């Protein structure tokens, strides 16, 4: 006979039962500083009512001892290992955690079974908190993690979850705007865009800002949505050029897709930047390895990683949720006829 397990109570459950914020519950559990007697009484009663038991890992972190944080990426292994942005971000977050005497485990949740195991692991109390990246809505992974009361910070704007989860993001709109201004300044008269997936910041925020600046130079029919892979860059560039041979500037919402665009241009004998300007996003190793090297938008991953860790630690210790936007910058290279 299958056993029925009662879900473990979380800080969120205690907060709801007590009618106070998660931060108030965390402060009470961490010694009661800055908690009124009325709130303390409500939390005590809610703890008894819900049967809440504090995670030993989170408790250890609150008392200054080392802990472990999970880095969860909602992608299949092939996509994860094939994107240099993930490599850079994971390494930067690991370094930022190491500076706090903490360790990190990486979880991939690109399919339903991986997502189920990841959520189960995170609910076991094995980690103090989780950094999420590239989280899609398909498996509801982020929602399930939040429902467990797990401290979470997302790398990137979480769209429909922005009111529930802390996040740190590069300034997506700034990047799209600056790239459009740059291409216009380089003499572009007809633009095309390979945006990220429609549900991602690269498919919404970067595109919307780019579109506003490009104006009439970017027809709606010259916008495609890719999956951040090199193959998408190759295929969609061919599609755009077949649709409108007059395109003389192309913005791809990732360096990997932009590198694919360069390969298609080379196969067709199209000179870059003489005939076609190409810009990317991220300033990953794909940008510097491309031929010609890519003009791109640099995301300062070291700073983003430091902010991710800072925001997560504050949420773990006092339940404080935050949203941080980090400025980005244009890096000019040969793919638009300039060198930084």
Predicted confidence at residue 143, as pLDDT, reads: 85
Taking 60 as the threshold, does the pLDDT of residue 225 lie above it?
A: yes
Co-location of 188 and 258 in the same domain: yes
Predicted confidence at residue 64, as pLDDT, reads: 40
Mean per-residue pLDDT, 30-34: 56
Co-location of 176 and 250 in the same domain: yes
pLDDT digits 0-9 by tens, 200-216: 888 899 999 999 999 99
Predicted confidence at residue 20, as pLDDT, reads: 84
Please tell me which residue, 192 or 17, carries the higher pLDDT value: 192
pLDDT digits 0-9 by tens, 49-74: 888 766 544 455 444 433 889 999 88
- Domain of 311 in residue numbering reads as 67-169+301-326
Co-location of 273 and 182 in the same domain: yes
pLDDT digits 0-9 by tens, 134-167: 777 677 888 888 888 888 999 988 877 888 889 9
Predicted confidence at residue 26, as pLDDT, reads: 66
Q: Does residue 61 form part of some domain?
A: no
Mean per-residue pLDDT, 300-310: 93
Co-location of 84 and 105 in the same domain: yes
Co-location of 278 and 310 in the same domain: no
Co-location of 118 and 94 in the same domain: yes
Mean per-residue pLDDT, 215-241: 96
Co-location of 195 and 281 in the same domain: yes
pTM for this model (two decimals): 0.77
How confident is residue 79, by pLDDT bands cut at 50, 70 and 90?
Answer: low
Taking 60 as the threshold, does the pLDDT of residue 294 lie above it?
A: yes
Which CATH number do you get for residue 100? 3.40.50.2300
How confident is residue 8, by pLDDT bands cut at 50, 70 and 90?
Answer: low
Distance CA(52)–CA(140), nearest Å, equals 25
Q: Does residue 118 form part of some domain?
A: yes
Co-location of 305 and 165 in the same domain: yes
pLDDT digits 0-9 by tens, 36-52: 888 888 988 888 888 87
Q: Does residue 310 form part of some domain?
A: yes
Percent of the chain with pLDDT over 90: 49
Co-location of 248 and 277 in the same domain: yes
Co-location of 214 and 176 in the same domain: yes
Taking 60 as the threshold, does the pLDDT of residue 273 lie above it?
A: yes
Which CATH number do you get for residue 50? 1.10.260.40
Q: Does residue 4 form part of some domain?
A: no
Q: Does residue 3 form part of some domain?
A: no
Whether the CB-CB separation of 278 and 272 falls below 8 Å is answered with yes
pLDDT digits 0-9 by tens, 80-135: 667 778 888 888 999 998 888 888 998 888 788 888 888 888 887 788 889 988 77
Residue in 192, 196, 188 with CA at minimum distance from that of residue 282: 196
Q: Does residue 6 form part of some domain?
A: no
**How far does Cα 56 stand from its chain's mean position?**
28
Please tell me which residue, 336 or 66, carries the higher pLDDT value: 336
Co-location of 107 and 145 in the same domain: yes
Please tell me which residue, 17 or 23, carries the higher pLDDT value: 17
Mean of the per-residue pLDDT values of the chain:
86
Q: Does residue 62 form part of some domain?
A: no
Number of domains, the chain:
3
Percent of the chain with pLDDT over 70: 87
Q: Does residue 293 form part of some domain?
A: yes
Distance CA(324)–CA(169), nearest Å, equals 6
Taking 60 as the threshold, does the pLDDT of residue 4 lie above it?
A: no
Co-location of 30 and 137 in the same domain: no
């Amino acid at each position: 006979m299958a056993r029925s397990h009662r879900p473990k109570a979380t800080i969120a459950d205690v907060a709801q039962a007590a009618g106070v914020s998660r931060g108030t519950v965390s402060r009470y559990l961490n010694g009661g500083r800055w908690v009124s007697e009325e709130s303390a009484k409500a939390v005590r009663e809610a703890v008894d009512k819900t049967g809440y038991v504090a995670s030993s890992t989170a408790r250890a972190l609150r008392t200054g001892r080392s802990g472990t944080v999970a880095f969860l990426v909602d992608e299949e292994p092939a996509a994860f290992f094939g994107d240099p942005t993930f490599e850079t971000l994971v390494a930067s977050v690991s370094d930022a955690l190491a500076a706090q005497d903490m360790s990190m485990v990486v979880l991939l949740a690109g399919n339903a079974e991986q997502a189920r195991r990841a959520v189960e692991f995170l609910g076991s109390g094995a980690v103090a908190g989780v950094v999420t990246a590239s989280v899609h809505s398909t498996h509801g992974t982020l929602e399930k993690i939040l429902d467990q009361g797990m401290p979470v910070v997302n790398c990137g704007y979480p769209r429909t979850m922005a009111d529930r989860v802390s996040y740190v993001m590069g300034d997506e709109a700034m990047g799209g705007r600056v790239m459009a201004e740059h291409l216009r300044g380089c003499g572009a008269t007809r633009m095309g865009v390979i945006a990220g997936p429609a549900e991602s910041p690269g498919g919404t925020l970067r595109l919307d800002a780019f579109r506003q600046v490009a104006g009439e130079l970017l027809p709606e029919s010259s916008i495609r949505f890719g999956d951040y892979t090199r193959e998408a860059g190759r295929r969609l560039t061919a599609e755009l050029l077949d649709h409108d041979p007059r395109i003389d500037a192309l913005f791809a919402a990732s360096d990997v897709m932009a590198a694919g665009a360069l390969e298609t241009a080379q196969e067709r004998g199209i000179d870059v930047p003489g005939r076609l300007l190409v810009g990317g996003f991220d300033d990953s190793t794909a940008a510097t390895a491309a031929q010609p090297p890519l003009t791109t938008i640099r995301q300062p991953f070291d700073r983003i990683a430091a902010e991710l860790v800072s925001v997560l630690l504050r949420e773990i210790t006092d339940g404080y949720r935050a949203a941080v936007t980090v400025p980005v910058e244009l890096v000019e290279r040969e793919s638009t006829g300039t060198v930084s």
